[in-house]
Amino acid sequence: MPLFKSRIKEALVRRREQGLSRQLKVLENSNGPLLRSEGSDFINFSSNDYLGLANDPELVDAWQTGLSQYGAGSAASPLVSGFSPAHLNLEAQLCEWLGFDRAILFSSGFSANQALLFSLLEKDDFLLQDKLNHASLMEAGMLSPATMKRFKHNDTQHLESLLNRTPQSLVVTEGVFSMDGDQAPLSQISKLTNRYDSWLVIDDAHGIGVLGEKGAGSCNVAQITPDILVVTFGKAFGLSGAAILCSAELGDYLTQFARHHVYSTAMPPSQAVALSYACQMIQTQEWRREKLFELGATYSEQMSGVEGFIETQPPIKPFVVGEAKTALSIAEELKRHQVWVTAIRPPTVPVGTARLRITLTARHTQKQVLQLTSSLHQAIERNIESSFESKIDTNNRA
Ligand X SMILES: *Cc1c(COP(=O)(O)O)cnc(C)c1O
Instruction: Please indicate whether residue 206 is annotated as part of the active site.
Output: yes
Instruction: Please indicate whether residue 48 is annotated as part of the active site.
Output: yes
- The 238-257 contact track toward ligand X, x by CB under 6 A, reads --x-x---------------
205 is a site residue for ligand X (CB under 6 A): yes
Give how far the C-alpha of residue 310 lies from the chain's centroid of Cα atoms, to the nearest Å. Answer: 18
CA 120 to CA 91: how far, in whole Å? 21
* Burial track 255-287 (b if 16+ CB lie within 10 A, e otherwise): eeebebbbebebbbbbbbbbbbbbbebbeebee
Among 87, 134, 288, 291, binds ligand X (CB under 6 A): 134
Instruction: Please indicate whether residue 203 is annotated as part of the active site.
Output: yes
Least distance (Å) between residue 115 CB and ligand X: 12
Phi, psi of 253 (to 5 degrees): -60, -50
Among 109, 212, 251, 315, binds ligand X (CB under 6 A): 109
336 is in an annotated binding site: no
The 3-class SS string of 269-322 reads HHHHHHHHHHHHHHHHCHHHHHHHHHHHHHHHHHHCCCCCECCCCCCEEEEEEE
Instruction: Please indicate whether residue 364 is annotated as part of the active site.
Output: no
Q: Which of the residues 203, 204, 227, 333 is marked catalytic?
A: 203
Cα angle at 238 between 236 and 241, to 5 degrees?
95
Least distance (Å) between residue 166 CB and ligand X: 24
| Nearest residue relative to ligand X (C-beta) | 109
- The 156-195 contact track toward ligand X, x by CB under 6 A, reads ------------------x---x-----------------
Instruction: Please indicate whether residue 134 is annotated as part of the active site.
Output: yes
Nearer CB in complex with ligand X: 113/375 = 113
| Distance between start and end Cα atoms, the chain | 50
136 is a site residue for ligand X (CB under 6 A): yes
Q: Are 172 and 204 in contact (CB under 8 A)?
A: no
260 is a site residue for ligand X (CB under 6 A): no
342, 348, 316, 318: which is closest to 330 by C-alpha?
342
CA 300 to CA 302: how far, in whole Å? 5
Q: Around 8, how many Cα atoms within 13 Å sit in the side-chain half-sphere?
A: 5
Least distance (Å) between residue 240 CB and ligand X: 6
CA 28 to CA 206: how far, in whole Å? 24
237 is in an annotated binding site: no
Nearer CB in complex with ligand X: 136/326 = 136
Stretch that binds ligand X, among 11-19, 22-30, 120-128, 234-242 (CB under 6 A): 234-242
Nearer CB in complex with ligand X: 210/339 = 210
324-336 vs 366-397: helix crossing angle, rounded to 10? 130
108 is a site residue for ligand X (CB under 6 A): yes
364 is in an annotated binding site: no
Give the number of residues in contact with ligand X, rule: CB under 6 A: 15
269-284 vs 57-70: helix crossing angle, rounded to 10? 150
Annotated binding site: 22, 109-110, 134, 178, 206, 232, 348
Positions in the binding site for ligand X (CB under 6 A) = 108-110, 113, 134, 136, 174, 178, 203, 205-206, 232, 234, 240, 242
Annotated binding site for substrate: 22, 134, 348
Catalytic residues: 48, 134, 174, 178, 203, 206, 235
